[in-house]
Structure 1
Amino acid sequence: MTKHNHEADVAFIQALAELLNANELTELAVKREYGEDDSLEVRVVKQATIVQAAPMTVAAAPVAAMAPAAAAPAAAAVPEDPAQHPGAVTSPMVGTAYLAPEPGAAAFVAVGSTVAEGQTLLIVEAMKTMNHIPAPRAGTVKRILVADGTPVEYGAPLMIIE
């Protein structure tokens, strides 16, 4: 952060966020030089909402006639919100998720992998720092909710471990 007025920097960052939205951008990075050894680097990233459609199943209606009083509308299937799942591992920060330690390497875990508490599941890069995300508990990886190299927000579900 800079040695200059904090409120001016906050207003500058807010203006960048508005510029990002107004121009339908997904990322914006700026370095503001104030003088020798005094600068401000800002990276504003808009998280894309990933919607995963649940597979639909259609059941045939019974052939026997039903009495009108017994007919009731079928309840619509509501897709599960992964963030509300008790086994959800969420991102502790805003950044970019990487499933492997380096490009071309094998992923830390895959669906069906058994993990121990504290084992690295993936990396979230934030401000050029690689942050290893550990398993909060032992279990089996049931779902991986992010793709390699995608931006993530604070609190976004990354994986489901049961």
Structure 2
Amino acid sequence: MSKQSSDADVAFISALAELLNKNELTEISVKREYGEADSLNVRVVKQSTVVQMAQSAPVQYAAAPMAAAPAAAAVSEDPAQHPGAVTSPMVGTCYMAAEPGASPFVTVGSAVTEGQTVLIIEAMKTMNHIPAPRAGTVKRILVSDGTAVEFGAPLLIIE
């Protein structure tokens, strides 16, 4: 590999790191083909204090601060383990309403029916309506409007 190719690879990796930060991603992997027997595999991972991942361990999430959460709720409780947790089926950006300025789909204390839209996750410019998996009352909302969510992240709790 020439010095020029090496410099181009460093610039490419730097651009990937900037893309990672700009789009609030946690990881990006790219394979760059130079020819039949020459390629570059790049994996850029951003360390996060919110999500800790391990291959054989379950994903753990830090409790999000919430003004609407009851004061008696345990801070150390893992919302992903709650039996009423609604988790994200994809990576994307979470929206609490159909459009900016509109009323949110649900609020803490809202009664929901099975299949009712509780929020939207935008992934790759597609708005995905997330339905309530069961009927009940929204007890906690664990995400804020416009925040990035990971696959499996707890979004809200319905009891």
Q: Equivalent residue for 1:150?
A: 147
Indicate the percent of aligned positions where both proteins have the same amino acid.
66
Alignment of 1:19-58 (within 5 A): 19-20=16-17, 25=21, 27=23, 49=50, 51-52=63-64
**CA 26–81 in structure 1, closer or farther in 2 if over 3 Å, else same:** farther
Q: Equivalent residue for 2:54?
A: none
Normalising by structure 2, we get a TM-score of 0.60
Letter of the 2:64 counterpart: Q
Cα RMSD over matched residues?
3.6
1:85 pairs with 82, 86, 89, which one?
82
Letter of the 1:161 counterpart: I
Aligned-residue offset at 1:154: 0.3
Give 5+ residue unaligned stretches, structure 1: 1-11, 30-43, 57-76
Aligned-residue offset at 1:52: 3.4
Larger Rg: 1
**CA 153–55 in structure 1, closer or farther in 2 if over 3 Å, else same:** same
**Number of residue equivalences:** 114
Aligned-residue offset at 1:17: 10
Letter of the 2:146 counterpart: G
2:134 pairs with 134, 137, 142, which one?
137
CA distance in 1, matches of 2:95, 2:49: 16
Letter of the 1:27 counterpart: N
Aligned to 1:83, the other structure's residue is in SS state helix
Give 5+ residue unaligned stretches, structure 2: 1-8, 26-43, 51-61
Aligned-residue offset at 1:45: 9.9
**CA 81–26 in structure 1, closer or farther in 2 if over 3 Å, else same:** farther
Large movers: runs of 4+ above 4 Å: 15-19, 44-48, 53-56
8 Å Cα contact 2:24/2:148 also seen in 1: no
**CA 102–16 in structure 1, closer or farther in 2 if over 3 Å, else same:** farther
